[in-house]
Amino acid sequence: MFLQDPIHGYIELEGFELDILDTKHFQRLRRVKQLGFTNLVYPSATHTRFEHSIGAKNLAEKFAKYLEVSEQESKELRAASMLHDIGHGPFSHTSEKVFAKKDFSHEDFSVEKIRGETVSDALNKNGISPDKVVSLIRGEGELGQIIAGDIDVDRMDYLMRDAHYSGVAHGVIDAETIMRAAKFKEGKLVFGHKFKQALEGLLTARYLMTPTVYMHEGVIRAEKMMERAIEELISYEELNVRDLSDMDDVDLKARLRSTGSERANYLNSLLDTRDVFKTCYRLDAEEVGREKILEVIDELGEENKVEKELSEALGVSEKKLLVDKPFKPKKKKIGIWLEKKGGLVSLEEESKVCRAINESHWENVALQVYCPRNSSKEFEKPVKNFFENKLGVA
């Protein structure tokens, strides 16, 4: 069977790929938006995990061909690329934040579904080990780098796909050159030094897509509203995150519209009409310095507790305030290797682009408070006073 894809053209699916495609878990991905609430800012960004997973499969198949792996290894790579996101909850990374607070990730639920009866049967009958697929999506071994590495099929497809559907031009990468240039050496996926610019292009695309699309201020505020609505729903209806991982976007929306939780229902109803909260307070690293913002992260405590304290201080309903605690940036070692004069060197050592990208993580580190649009001016001063007193910042 051939599918027409706007990013890769015709993609062929056959045998075990169709068996995976027809499972209820894979079909659920049709109803899980890839970019959550990004379509409130970029209206055409309504694509799903379903087509992304098929696109990743197409890239994995090409990667396998260029690396000249065995037919069995190719099957395992293609299966892993189709299944790597099968554990994503509704609205993708929005529910992922709720998972994280309970010490889970979508990968944990992907593993459960792959080892569950429905998917494992589809794999086993085609001679593919579910445990091998799990190993690949965890990035283990040489071939795991193709599924979950710094240059992997997931990242290449989502950059191209997200740019296409959002309508921005930042996700253009030379995926074909990158795949053709790859080989294994000393257990690492490596690239010829002359292909450095193609690799930098991929990293640059991700760097530019982050503030433009993934962390656009309107998207971040909408996602925080849904994140808190989900938490309120789980608490009120005594659900757990495993229940959440089985839902799709439609399931979650239906639960939020019918729930007896006032706050969850309120936040969801605002999102339904694109009545997104505005920022009434912001304290960022550039303003107070990195050392102080790290102190704020350590001292602030849980967001919902601060919201309760803040709402009591202002004498307003808790449902009208959202606290977005800053994340603690981590310098991530970029595991991309170049072959140079017979040896291996890290792209990070060779590239000013890599070093600049690592430094840029501080740009989005900020404490923010969101409130209804018509209250933003009213709340600005009292919220500012509250945090000046609580945190000792001016």
Helix (H, G, I), strand (E, B) or coil at 126: coil
d(Cα 141, Cα 131) in Å, to the nearest integer? 13
d(Cα 125, Cα 18) in Å, to the nearest integer? 12
Helical residues (DSSP H) of 29-105, grouped into ranges: 49-67, 71-83, 93-101
d(Cα 87, Cα 104) in Å, to the nearest integer? 11
Query: Taking the chain, what is the end-to-end CA distance rounded to the nearest angstrom?
Result: 63
d(Cα 199, Cα 334) in Å, to the nearest integer? 11
Structure tokens at 13: 């699916």
What residue type is assigned to position 220 of the chain? I
Catalytic residues: 106
Q: Which residues contact 81 (CB under 8 A, 6 or more apart)?
A: 53, 56, 57, 59, 60, 146, 147, 153, 154
d(Cα 316, Cα 320) in Å, to the nearest integer? 7
Q: Which residues contact 269 (CB under 8 A, 6 or more apart)?
A: 257
> DSSP per residue over 235-269, as a string?
HHHT--HHHHHT--HHHHHHHHHH-S-HHHHHHHH
Stated as kind and residue range, the H or E segment containing 189 is: strand 188-192
